Amino acid sequence: METLGFLMDGFAVAFTPYNLMFALFGAFVGTLIGCLPGLGPANGVAILIPLAFTLGLPPETAMILLTAVYAGAMYGGRISSILLNIPGDEPAMMTCLDGYPMARNGRAADALAASAIASFTGSLIGTIGLIMLAPILARFALTFGPAEYFALFLLAFATLGGITGKNPMKTVIAATLGIMISTVGIDISTGTQRYTFNVLELYEGIDFILAIVGLFAISELLFFVEHRMGGGRDKVSVGKLSLTFKEIVSTLPSQFRGGVLGFIAGVLPGAGASLGSFISYTLEKQVLGKKGKFGEGDIRGVVAPEAGNNGASSGALVPMLTLGVPGSGTTAVLLAMLISLNITPGPLMFTQNADIVWGVIAALLIGNVLLLVLNIPMVGFFVKLLSVPPMYLLPIVTMVAFVGIYSISHSTFDLYFMVVFGVAGFFLRKLEIPLVPIILGLLLGPEMEKNLGHALVLSDGDWSILWQSGLAKGLWLVAGLGLILPYLVGPILRRRMRNAIKESPVSD
């Protein structure tokens, strides 16, 4: 019961008024970000990173703020799926299937409330899973040597695109580009200047925070400009809440199944939240079969994917916290925050920075309670925000990103760099090169090189050390599968997901 003691310590950290205030602020802003059109969770967390820096927050508070934003954004994402049939991000897609029909049947308020409760259950299950699994995995990870770490990083890149990913080769290219950017600057071990072109600002390397903000926030602005989506959408009304207690209780099994499946999908490399919500939804359809009216506004069709999606988002924190290898875009951004706080993520974090890890986990639990309390009464307010046209909103968000970056270094050089990254991000997204592997490459590149170096020093320059141990062999195998499976299984899975969406009669 050592874990329980740590968790209590974590609560002691998270329950200080100062941290609690930031958790509440984060949960609120996160929901805001999640339900605003065009701002996914990764974007939201990315924009808030410079802010957390400039405020000079202590590490645990900064992490608590960002985790709360992360949880909040997952909550907020469902609002636009249900009311407008527009998923905020990919995992929210499955919520549209029954959520939107429910809203059309005049039960929008019920769908929102039920999904809020399901999000809570899913997150709770996910967080409990995280508490149980993370310490075990961290202890196991202590046996990893540099060769195993090198293989693990490869695995992370190979599976990042996910089984449903389109073109694994593009993931590889993106990751390589990211790692290449990370090699700019003075080499740590030898002091050689690499790719600095004698520009003073490049000696310390390229700050990944400005790369992240540029790639995400600025390219998003450019996408909006291109598609002229500035006009905003019609006002939507929510209606009265008619959800009964009995109805909620009757969906509990669905919530539970969804949460567990989602958590598992979140932990596994390459599965991710979209697969989590998809599996949860299909399982629910299979289990209940003809008893349900799936696709026509069945409440369980809202509850299951929403629990799955939130379970997965907690599950995705497991590899990030224990191995330092994030499984999704948003957790990659969280990792960026950790690294810039000078905390080395990985198994040692559980012993060296126990207060931060457990503080974050406790904050996740508290954040979920806050979110549930916040979401049910305030849903009307968030819905109003949906009708704020992006033409006012996005320029302001971009400006906040500029201010955040500027206030870190007070150098306009960084701002130009950020714009360059934004333009590059726009072109890469157009060419369907995913951005998340670039970020991950930037973050993990130096670690990868360090581990490669250590491994080769240990083996006296013998490269075969990289695949000598059984564990390393296993990691290489999974990494290989991660690249090959999308070619074999990906098309089938993608077709099924599309069919599931087509089947649901969203008739007008």
Helix (H, G, I), strand (E, B) or coil at 349: helix
**Is the Cβ of residue 140 or residue 195 nearer to another protein in the bound state?**
195
The dihedrals phi and psi of 186, each to the nearest 5 degrees, come to -85, 130
Q: Kindly state the tokens that stand for 75.
A: 């909550």
Q: Give 261's DSSP letter.
A: H
185 beta partners: 194
Quick one: which of 448, 472, 475, 497 contacts another protein (CB under 8 A)?
448
Cα separation, 81 vs 65, whole angstroms: 25
Q: According to the binding rule CB under 8 A, does residue 433 interact with another protein?
A: yes
Minimum Å gap between C-beta 315 and another protein is 30
Q: According to the binding rule CB under 8 A, does residue 409 interact with another protein?
A: no
Q: According to the binding rule CB under 8 A, does residue 192 interact with another protein?
A: yes
Minimum Å gap between C-beta 459 and another protein is 8
Which residue from 126, 498, 502, 121 is spatially nearest to 302, judged by alpha carbons? 121
Q: According to the binding rule CB under 8 A, does residue 221 interact with another protein?
A: yes
Minimum Å gap between C-beta 343 and another protein is 23
Cα separation, 201 vs 422, whole angstroms: 19
**Is the Cβ of residue 373 or residue 391 nearer to another protein in the bound state?**
391
Alpha helix stretches (DSSP H) within 297-353: 299-315, 317-323, 329-340, 349-352
Number of residues in the chain: 508
Minimum Å gap between C-beta 53 and another protein is 10
Secondary structure (DSSP) of 4-68: HHHHHHHHHHHTSHHHHHHHHHHHHHHHHHHHSTT--HHHHHHHHHHHHHHTT--HHHHHHHHHH
Q: According to the binding rule CB under 8 A, does residue 289 interact with another protein?
A: no
Cα separation, 185 vs 202, whole angstroms: 6
**Is the Cβ of residue 232 or residue 239 nearer to another protein in the bound state?**
232
Quick one: which of 283, 348, 385, 415 contacts another protein (CB under 8 A)?
415
Q: Pick the stretch among 31-39, 86-94, 181-189, 287-295 that binds another protein (CB under 8 A).
A: 181-189
Quick one: which of 423, 481, 493, 501 contacts another protein (CB under 8 A)?
423
Other Cβ atoms less than 10 A from the Cβ of 216: the count is 26
Quick one: which of 412, 487, 498, 499 contacts another protein (CB under 8 A)?
412
Q: According to the binding rule CB under 8 A, does residue 452 interact with another protein?
A: yes
The sign of the CA dihedral 475, 477, 480, 484 is negative
Quick one: which of 145, 239, 292, 395 contacts another protein (CB under 8 A)?
395
Q: According to the binding rule CB under 8 A, does residue 470 interact with another protein?
A: no
Which residue from 252, 265, 376 is spatially nearest to 314, judged by alpha carbons? 265
Q: Kindly state the tokens that stand for 413.
A: 């050089």
Count H helices and E strands in the chain, helices first. 22, 2
Quick one: which of 252, 288, 348, 419 contacts another protein (CB under 8 A)?
419
Question: How many of the chain's residues bind another protein (CB under 8 A)?
Answer: 64
Specify the DSSP element, H or E, that contains 480: helix 470-488
Rg (CA), the chain: 22
Segment 37 to 66, residues that bind another protein, using CB under 8 A: 54-55
Q: According to the binding rule CB under 8 A, does residue 195 interact with another protein?
A: yes
Q: Pick the stretch among 359-367, 418-426, 472-480, 498-506 that binds another protein (CB under 8 A).
A: 418-426
Quick one: which of 149, 216, 402, 421 contacts another protein (CB under 8 A)?
402
Strands 193-194 and 185-186: antiparallel
Q: Which residues touch 428 (CB under 8 Å, ≥6 apart)? A: 174, 435, 438
CA-to-CA separations, 96 to 90, 112, 464, 502, in angstroms, rounded: 11, 12, 50, 12
Quick one: which of 396, 470, 505, 507 contacts another protein (CB under 8 A)?
396
Q: According to the binding rule CB under 8 A, does residue 190 interact with another protein?
A: yes
Q: According to the binding rule CB under 8 A, does residue 226 interact with another protein?
A: yes
Quick one: which of 18, 140, 203, 416 contacts another protein (CB under 8 A)?
416
Quick one: which of 128, 400, 471, 501 contacts another protein (CB under 8 A)?
400
Q: According to the binding rule CB under 8 A, does residue 185 interact with another protein?
A: no
Binding site for another protein (CB under 8 A): 54-55, 166-167, 169-170, 172-173, 176-177, 179-180, 183, 187, 189-195, 218, 221-222, 224-226, 228, 230-231, 389-392, 394-396, 398-400, 402-403, 406-407, 412, 415-416, 419, 422-423, 426, 430-433, 448-449, 452-453, 456-457, 459-461
